[in-house]
């Protein structure tokens, strides 16, 4: 059985915070942020909008695109490091908000790689015929764990949500291969501290990402007997344009063949990949039969990649 994406969705808070706005908050400047990261602005959710609210909007969008009713969903998986509360889970809150009364629900914690872990978990349940339709979401309100006094991290992060409905697709399509990984010894490079703030050793994470993203991308493509030249479109985790470009250049694919939401939305952790996927689908950048690779890395340390025939 082939498992693939039946529909995608995303949601972004309305409030835009530009690099110029951040100049008033920390000792930074637009030029530094743009040249070092590729970020120009990001969205920040209002106080009364939480991770589950953003997840709800992205999920509605994905269900509509897939033409699937909430009651048809068998399992909800929400990847997040910023849940409304540790429990009940965001997925349980979402199950209620959506009226997805037939769905089991659980959250997945794999930081920025969470959506990849979610997709592959969904694939197992569908392949074994336990479930038919699984809703996978990445939703993050990173602004609530951002240290607004740390210029090394606060300029990078933004809020948002992305979603996908997974189910059976026709022969030859959908997820063709995947790779998931973790290195717990690297946990100290990126974590949440006792003040509930995100702490990052930027240089170490950068080195890890620049090596891992291209490697995982090549691995999933080679697993299906293809080569990097066969990749039509790349959806990388949106952490830093320099990391993304390194992966793209190693694959030898042109700029227009890579999803690039970082400029407008910054780094949205687990939400980055599904948001970028959904936006690329809606913008017509992903076409039928394209070979696409989704690839991410993040805290844990974790990483993951998926090769899909659209
Ligand atoms: N504005 C101005 N100057 C700054 C800023 C800022 N916002 N932040 C750091 N600097 C300064 C530093 O203090 C340093 O000054 P110094 O040389 O006087 O000490 C100088 O700029 C260079 O700092 P570096 O940390 O070496 O800058 P670098 O080129 O490594 O860029 C960055 C930093 C953008 C964080 C980079 O390391 C990076 O992208 N790392 C990976 C981040 C990442 O991928 N995170 C993903 C996981 S996080 C998540 O997804 C939720």
Query: pLDDT digit string (tens) for 162-187?
Result: 999 999 999 999 999 999 999 999 99
Does the CB atom of residue 191 touch ligand 1 within 6 A?
no
Does the CB atom of residue 253 touch ligand 1 within 6 A?
no
Residue 253 has pLDDT above 90, yes or no: no
Over range 142-153, report the average pLDDT: 96
Say if residue 301 is preceded by a cis peptide, omega within 30 of 0: yes
Phi, psi (5° rounding) for residue 116? -65, -45
Q: Which of 45, 48, 281 is nearest to 163 (CA)?
A: 281
User: Per-residue confidence at 22, pLDDT binned at 50, 70, 90?
Assistant: very high
Output the residue whose Cα is nearest ligand 1's atom 11. Answer: 152
Does the CB atom of residue 276 touch ligand 1 within 6 A?
no
Over range 129-151, report the average pLDDT: 97
pLDDT tens digit string along 79-121? 999 999 999 999 999 999 999 999 999 999 999 999 999 999 9
The DSSP code sequence of 202-258 is HHHHHHHHHHHHHHHHHHHHHHTT--GGG--EEEE--S-HHHHHHHHHHHT--GGGB
Does the CB atom of residue 205 touch ligand 1 within 6 A?
yes
User: Per-residue confidence at 264, pLDDT binned at 50, 70, 90?
Assistant: very high
Cβ atoms of residues 136 and 164 within 8 Å: yes
Instruction: Name the DSSP class of 144.
Output: G
CA of 142 to the centre of ligand 1 (A): 18
The residues that are catalytic are 112, 237, 267
Query: First and final CA of the chain: distance in angstroms?
Result: 15
Q: What does the pLDDT read at residue 303?
A: 98
User: Per-residue confidence at 247, pLDDT binned at 50, 70, 90?
Assistant: confident
Q: What does the pLDDT read at residue 287?
A: 94
Output the residue whose Cα is nearest ligand 1's atom 33. Answer: 202
User: Per-residue confidence at 251, pLDDT binned at 50, 70, 90?
Assistant: confident
CA distances, 295 to each of 48, 55, 256 (Å): 32, 21, 17
């Amino acid at each position: 059985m082939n498992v693939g994406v039946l529909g995608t969705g995303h949601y972004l808070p309305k409030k835009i915070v530009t690099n110029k706005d951040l100049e008033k908050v920390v000792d930074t400047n637009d030029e530094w942020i743009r040249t070092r990261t590729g970020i120009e602005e990001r969205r920040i959710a209002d106080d009364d909008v939480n991770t589950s609210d953003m997840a709800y909007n992205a999920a509605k969008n994905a269900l509509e695109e897939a033409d699937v009713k909430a009651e048809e969903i068998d399992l909800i998986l929400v990847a997040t490091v910023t849940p409304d509360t540790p429990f009940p889970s965001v997925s349980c809150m979402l199950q209620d908000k959506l009226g997805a009364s037939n769905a089991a629900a659980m959250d997945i914690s794999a930081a920025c790689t969470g959506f990849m872990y979610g997709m592959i978990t969904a694939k197992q349940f569908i392949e074994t015929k336990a479930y038919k339709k699984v809703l996978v979401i990445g939703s993050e309100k990173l602004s609530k764990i951002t240290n607004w006094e740390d210029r090394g991290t606060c300029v990078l992060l933004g809020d948002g949500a992305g979603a996908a409905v997974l189910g059976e697709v026709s022969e030859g399509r959908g997820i063709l291969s995947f790779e998931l990984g973790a290195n717990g010894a690297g946990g100290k490079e990126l974590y949440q501290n006792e003040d509930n703030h995100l702490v990052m050793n930027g240089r170490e994470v950068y080195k890890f990402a620049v090596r891992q993203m291209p490697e995982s991308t090549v691995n999933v493509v080679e697993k299906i007997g293809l080569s990097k030249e066969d990749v039509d479109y790349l959806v990388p985790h949106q952490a830093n344009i320099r990391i993304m470009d390194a992966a793209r250049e190693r694959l030898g694919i042109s700029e227009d063949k890579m999803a690039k939401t970082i400029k407008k939305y910054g780094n949205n952790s687990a939400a980055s990949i599904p948001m970028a996927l959904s936006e690329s689908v809606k913008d017509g950048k992903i076409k039928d039969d394209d070979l696409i690779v989704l690839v991410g890395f993040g805290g844990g340390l974790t990483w993951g990649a998926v090769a899909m025939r659209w």
